[in-house]
Structure 1
Amino acid sequence: MKIEQLTIRNFRCFGREGVKFTCEEAVTAFVGNNGSGRTAIFAAIQKAFGTSSAQPTSGQGPASTQSL
């Protein structure tokens, strides 16, 4: 899957004017100052696909762990 263009408006720190990204090449990182919206970009992508980091994607609970 490749995201070619992303427009985010009225979400977290992005207002009515929003922000638009066009990904012509592979994007491997978002770089910016604190409060610039890097985390909000990833949260918007998660919301668009109907998942959040708090939800297991496999429909199961967290993986079991072993005591060492």
Structure 2
Amino acid sequence: MLRLWSLPRACHNLGHWQVRSAPELQHLLESLPLARWLTVTTDRLTRHPNGPTPNPTTNAGQ
């Protein structure tokens, strides 16, 4: 997980995850302690053409 936001008025949380594959994300979400009580929706994000260039020493560009 890269970042987690709380949306108190909506009683939701928003997490930004970075994984290499959909099955990896599925495994991570299923391993959460409250997974059986969570409602999870996912959206794949793509890099914006005008976004900052990732630092080559991190995994941010993968």
TM-score by length of 1: 0.26
Structure with bigger strand share is: 2
Name the TM-score, length of structure 2 as normaliser.
0.28
Which has the bigger relative contact order, CA under 8 A and spacing at least 6? 1
Higher helix proportion (structure 1 or 2)? 2
